[in-house]
Amino acid sequence: MSTLEPIQTAAAPAAIGPYSQAIKSGQMVFLSGQIPLVPETMEVVAGGIEAQTHQVFKNLIAVCAAAGGSLAHAAKLTIYLTDLNDFAAVNAIMAEYFSEPYPARATIQVSALPRGVNVEIDAVLCI
């Protein structure tokens, strides 16, 4: 039976509920959804979908590093958007952070996200 190891870093926003930033089990790391909070202030980054998406990826990178990995280890992403009209912008920004082979991915439109943000992304790493 695998041990569940919580992953925590001050370089990403603190959990705003009863959950871990990530959980490591063997070679798998399950990252909780990141929203565009600036870790130092716990405030939503200023700007629209582009600024928010970059901040989400910065937060994911910090949690990946704390787990001993990187975005290159991402096997699966789930992107939650409050407006699918933002899909092309988010897709273009994602291409700045990944190279082939790209992770598997789902993109889902939701009615709302915490703190009124426009985007949230979670990930599964294999390290």
The answer, yes or no, to whether residue 16 has pLDDT greater than 90, is: no
Q: Is the pTM for the entire model greater than 0.85? A: yes
Label residue 1 by pLDDT band (50, 70, 90). Answer: low
69-92 pLDDT per residue, tens? 999 999 999 999 999 999 999 999
> Is residue 15 a contact partner of residue 32, using CB atoms and an 8 Å limit?
yes
Nearest Cα neighbor of 34 from 18, 6, 56, 67 is: 56
Question: In the chain, what are the domains?
Answer: 5-126 (3.30.1330.40)
Handedness of CA 16, 115, 56, 41 (dihedral sign): negative
